[in-house]
Amino acid sequence: MKAEERTISNILTEQICYQIPAYQRPYSWEKENAQQLLEDIWEAFTEKNSEYFIGSLITIEREKDRRYDVVDGQQRLTTLNLIVARLRDHITSEAAKVELGKRILPRNVLNDEAETPRLSLRKKDQKFFREHVIDSQPVPEKDRAALEAPHRHLIENCEVVDSFCKGKSDKELKLFADYLLSKVYVVFVTTYS
């Protein structure tokens, strides 16, 4: 077992993919959880804290330095992906959009095709996550009442981030995104079985 502090930038890097194993519970963070995480990071950002710790991520390494199963921390990791996706959508700078986008879904620069998402949820939830979080396709209002709880939580938490972004300038959002990636830490724990 190995444990080390890593920034979110080191967690959401192009070389690493995370898989939520089928035995894990589905995404269950309520709006209050996502809002609390955002508010805590925003407070650390506005107070200019040199670093901010948000917990641990426990993984099983499946391919050295490239592919990991998430054993603990999937709620936080999924929410971080969701936050990065929504920040990408609210920031107007094309360079910033590209930088944030490659943290969740890198593109091949030679053919501009999407590669493997940085995070794969349980098989039952992955298509919805890809379409409505990573690719930002809206869920029609008429379909929202029929959403399963994990999908409803994903959409509601996207809306939490949207509300958070409203009223903030492009510069504030870019600086916040930079803080999130470079000053927010997790303890990254890797086991090999």
Residue 116 is predicted with a pLDDT of 84
The stretches of 47-169 forming alpha helices (DSSP H) are: 74-90, 94-104, 123-129, 141-144, 149-165
Q: Mean of the per-residue pLDDT values for the chain?
A: 94
Of 125, 108, 121, nearest to 18 (Cα)? 121
The H or E element that residue 157 is part of is helix 149-165
Percentage of the chain lying above the pLDDT 70 cut: 100
Across-strand partners of 63? 67
Residue 108 is predicted with a pLDDT of 76
Which pLDDT tens digit goes with each residue over 118-172? Answer: 999 999 999 999 999 999 999 999 999 999 999 999 999 999 999 999 999 999 9
The C-alpha R_g of the chain, in whole angstroms, comes to 16
Quote the CA–CA distance of 13 and 2 in Å, as a whole number: 19
Residue 112 is predicted with a pLDDT of 76
**Rounded to the nearest 10 degrees, how much is the dihedral formed by the CA atoms of 97, 161, 71, 2?**
60
For residue 55, what are its two tokens?
């917990």
The confidence band for 62, taking pLDDT boundaries of 50, 70 and 90, is very high
Residue 146 is predicted with a pLDDT of 95
Q: Would you say how long the chain is, in residues?
A: 193
